[in-house]
Amino acid sequence: ESSGTMKDRKQAALQRLARLEGQVRGVIRMVAEDRNCVDILNQTLAIRSALAQVEVLILQDHADDCVDAAIASSDPEAQRQKFRELVGIFEKVCR
C-alpha cells in the first residue's frame, strides 16, 4: 500500500479508519462492561498501531502532492514552508 497511488492510499486509509471506528466502539463497550484492564490495554495498543499506519498513508500523500509541488515550483519560500511542515509533524510524532 505504501508504494501505491494516492487513490490506493486514500482507499486504504478509509478502510483502516472504518476498522478503527469499530475498534474504538469495542473499547467503549469493554470499559462500560468493566472488562479486564489488560484486555482493554491490548485493544488500545492495537488502535494506536493502526492509527500510526493511517498517518503514514496520509503523510505519503502529502509528500507526493504538496511537497512534490513545492519542489517542482522552484519557489524557495514554498519549499521552506513544506519542509517546516514536515519537521513539525515529525517533532509531534517523536514526542
Per-domain residue ranges of the chain: 6-93
Within a 10 A sphere around the Cβ of 70, how many other Cβ atoms? 19
C-alpha 2, offset from chain centre: 12
- Cell for 5? 497511488
- Cell for 19? 476498522
Q: 6-93: which CATH topology?
A: Methane Monooxygenase Hydroxylase; Chain G, domain 1 (1.20.58)
- Cell for 44? 488500545
Is the pTM higher than 0.75?
Answer: no
Cα(36)–Cα(78) distance, integer angstroms: 51
Look at the chain and count its residues.
95
- 19-78 pLDDT, tens digit per residue, is 999 999 999 999 999 999 999 999 999 999 999 999 988 888 888 887 788 888 888 888
